[in-house]
Amino acid sequence: MEYFFIPLFASVLEIGDELSQSAIVRGLDAPVEKTSRHLIKFRKNDISVLILMVLNLLIVIFMKESGWDL
């Protein structure tokens, strides 16, 4: 188990260190108001895609319950 966990822990520590350095460079801890270039909203296209996905899921569930072999 030692041969598995030691490299795993070393990799996790390295990834965590890189993420913290990236956050510092991007200024995520800066005490100023954050700005964005694009306004992110839930729009009509998003709602239509969500409805289509739910309908697809309901059709698959109906077909499974009806005995179709998927």
* Size of the chain, expressed as the number of residues it contains: 70
Is the pTM for the entire model greater than 0.85?
A: no
How far apart, in whole angstroms, are the C-alpha atoms of residue 52 and residue 34? 34
pLDDT in tens, the chain (70 residues): 788 889 999 999 999 999 999 888 877 777 878 777 888 889 999 999 999 999 999 999 999 999 888 6
State the DSSP string of 20-31. HHHHHHHTTT-S
